[in-house]
Amino acid sequence: IAVTAEQIRFFAEFADKEGSELVPTDDASLGMIMSEPYGVVGAITPWNFPISMAGWKLGPALAAGNAVVLKPSEMTPFSVVCMAQLAIRAGLPAGLINV
């Protein structure tokens, strides 16, 4: 859970960056963010590391201004459903993350 929170936080830092703004990286390279919302993003996650994999899909999609339809593995659906419920409790609008 803590790793997934860090993943989401990482992408959230870029949510307010405009256009092709340069962003700092951990090494000597430069990073450039170009975000353009598509509206709705579909994401499919595997059975292994269901919360972490969902975080890698949700973070960039939400930071770019998209809603997400997330289809978790049929082997681990409840963990992602709980994650979406927690997101609503944390203040995300209902319907922004759909499982």
CATH number of 2-98: 3.40.605.10
Residue 62, pLDDT score: 92
Angle between helices 50-63 and 77-89 (to 10 degrees): 40
- Each residue's pLDDT expressed in tens, for the chain with a length of 99 residues: 888 889 888 888 877 766 667 777 888 887 876 767 899 999 999 999 999 999 999 999 998 899 999 999 999 999 999 999 999 999 999 999 999
Helix (H) and strand (E) counts for the chain? Answer: 3, 5
Distance CA 45, CA 47 (A): 7
